A = this chain, B = another copy of it.
């Protein structure tokens, strides 16, 4: 069973840290963000299955964030708020949140609500699970449709090329040696397969880069390996 990831977003670090402990205890993966902007970025770069979102944050308030998240991904959002007014709850729910919890909250109740959302989310089969769009600048990876887009335009990749991009995008910014890439994508030990990978890299660049000679996304780190740069 694959691990489910929760993004916790609150400007109060104490709350974030506390929630992290509870969530990890329930065996969820935890990602942390302290502003709405950070939340949106985390969403683009990682596979996330549920969001706990504070509604009062600097930079971007939770409601706006909720709307933007809804536009991009259809994952459960639970709003956590200091406002316990009914009108705020109603507004939050109508803006697309799936649940609304007021501070101070009982962490165990919150965990039960997280579980409840996850249950429904995963009930529809793991089919819906491996979806979501990962982004870095103009480069987008749509794992549901097995599609890669650059500045909105669909790029046609072969299965191997696609596999390499998925691996690098799922580990955005990390550098991997050719051997590591081969082992991950081919799922077998790399024995003198250096050049094979190089050729694939070459062809991926030809497809996704404006100027393959000076790659914007698929970067080489001399003597070490390759990565897709984080934007």
In the complex, the answer to whether B76 meets A94 with C-beta atoms within 8 Å is: no
A173 beta carbon closer than 8 Å to chain B: yes
Tell whether A112 pairs with B124 under 8 Å between CB atoms, given A174-B144, A227-B145.
no
- 1/0 contact string of A13-54 vs chain B (CB within 8 Å): 000000000000000000000000000000000000000000
- 1/0 contact string of A213-231 vs chain B (CB within 8 Å): 0000000011110010110
In the complex, the answer to whether B145 meets A173 with C-beta atoms within 8 Å is: yes
A159 beta carbon closer than 8 Å to chain B: yes
A169 to B115, CA, bound (A): 29
In the complex, the answer to whether A146 meets B175 with C-beta atoms within 8 Å is: yes
In the complex, the answer to whether A221 meets B124 with C-beta atoms within 8 Å is: no
- 1/0 contact string of A126-138 vs chain B (CB within 8 Å): 1110010000000
A89 beta carbon closer than 8 Å to chain B: yes
Number of interface residues of A (CB under 8 A): 47
In the complex, the answer to whether B159 meets A222 with C-beta atoms within 8 Å is: yes
Option from B89, B109, B174, B223 in Cβ contact (under 8 Å) with A112: B89
A106 to B91, CA, bound (A): 13
A120 beta carbon closer than 8 Å to chain B: yes
Specify which chain B residues have a CB less than 8 angstroms from the CB of A159 in the assembled complex: 222-224
Tell whether A116 pairs with B98 under 8 Å between CB atoms, given A74-B123, A124-B124.
yes
A158 to B220, CA, bound (A): 12
Specify which chain B residues have a CB less than 8 angstroms from the CB of A120 in the assembled complex: 76, 98, 120
In the complex, the answer to whether B115 meets A94 with C-beta atoms within 8 Å is: yes
In the complex, the answer to whether A116 meets B131 with C-beta atoms within 8 Å is: no
30 sampled A-B residue pairs with Cβ under 8 A? A86-B109, A89-B106, A90-B106, A90-B108, A90-B109, A90-B111, A90-B112, A93-B109, A93-B112, A93-B115, A93-B116, A94-B112, A94-B115, A96-B119, A97-B116, A98-B120, A123-B127, A124-B127, A124-B128, A127-B171, A127-B174, A144-B175, A145-B174, A145-B175, A145-B229, A145-B230, A146-B175, A146-B227, A147-B221, A159-B223
Top 3 A-B residue pairs of the complex, sorted by shortest distance between their CB atoms: A159-B223, A93-B112, A86-B106
